[in-house]
């Protein structure tokens, strides 16, 4: 995963694509920050799963920023945030559709033996273990609440 990001950065630098270079450097910076934090607790470099979590967090931050810029009447800044989202999303696995999320949540409920809303934690842990980076877990949580009523 890191190699793909590094190669993309090299390519962007050669192509003199300033926006892409900037965004890829932000990704690398976030990864280095996580590596430093991991060293503090005795772990090594961030795993691919952690990299996916970092990328998801970066996308969510930019979506929120774009929404705020739109509300404030600053479409040019919102557009910049959406460009960064597109670049970051290239390194994430394809996100599940609403139907796929519902199907995966139903399978996880069955596998975890969940019967009531009290079992949400077990099901969410199972989903995060199996499908990290592939879905928006806030959407999955909503579907889970609906199915466990």
- pLDDT, tens digit (0-9, with 9 covering 90-100), for 41-98: 777 787 887 888 889 899 999 999 999 999 999 999 999 999 999 999 899 888 888 8
Q: Is the pLDDT of residue 102 over 80?
A: yes
Q: Are residues 83 and 114 in the same domain?
A: no
pTM assigned to the model: 0.71
Q: Are residues 76 and 105 in the same domain?
A: no
- Distance between CA atoms of residues 149 and 120, nearest Å: 11
Contact present, 24 and 87 (Cβ < 8 Å) = yes
Q: Which of 66, 89, 112 is the last residue of a domain?
A: 89
pLDDT for the residue numbered 52: 84
User: Do 106 and 84 fall into the same domain?
Assistant: no
Task: For residue 32, give its domain range.
Answer: 2-89
Question: Do 68 and 16 have their domain in common?
Answer: yes
Q: Which pLDDT belongs to residue 134?
A: 79
What pLDDT, in 10s, does the model give residues 17-49? 999 999 999 999 999 998 888 888 777 787 887
Examine the fold and report which residue of 43, 67, 89 is the final residue of a domain before the chain moves on: 89
CA–CA–CA angle 116, 109, 119 (5° rounding):
35
Check residue 131 and report its DSSP letter: S
CA atoms within 13 A on the CB side of 22: 8
Res 129: pLDDT: 83
- Closest-CA residue to 119 (of 96, 147, 92, 93): 147
Q: What's 73's DSSP letter?
A: T
Whether residue 50 is found in the same domain as residue 20: yes
Q: What is the pLDDT of residue 13?
A: 96
> E-assigned strands of 42-93?
none
């Amino acid at each position: 995963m890191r190699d793909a990001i590094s190669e993309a950065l090299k390519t962007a630098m050669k192509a003199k694509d300033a926006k892409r270079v900037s965004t890829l450097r932000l990704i690398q910076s976030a990864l280095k920050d996580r590596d430093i934090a991991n060293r503090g607790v005795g772990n090594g470099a961030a795993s691919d799963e952690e990299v996916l979590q970092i990328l998801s967090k970066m996308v969510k931050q930019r979506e929120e920023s774009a929404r705020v810029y739109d509300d404030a009447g600053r479409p040019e800044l919102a557009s910049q945030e959406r460009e960064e989202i597109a670049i970051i999303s290239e390194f994430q696995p394809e996100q599940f559709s609403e139907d796929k999320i519902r199907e995966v949540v139903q399978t996880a409920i069955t596998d975890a033996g969940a019967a009531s809303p009290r079992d949400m934690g077990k099901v969410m842990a199972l989903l995060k273990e199996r499908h990290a980076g592939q879905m928006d877990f806030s959407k999955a949580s909503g579907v889970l609440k609906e199915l466990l009523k």
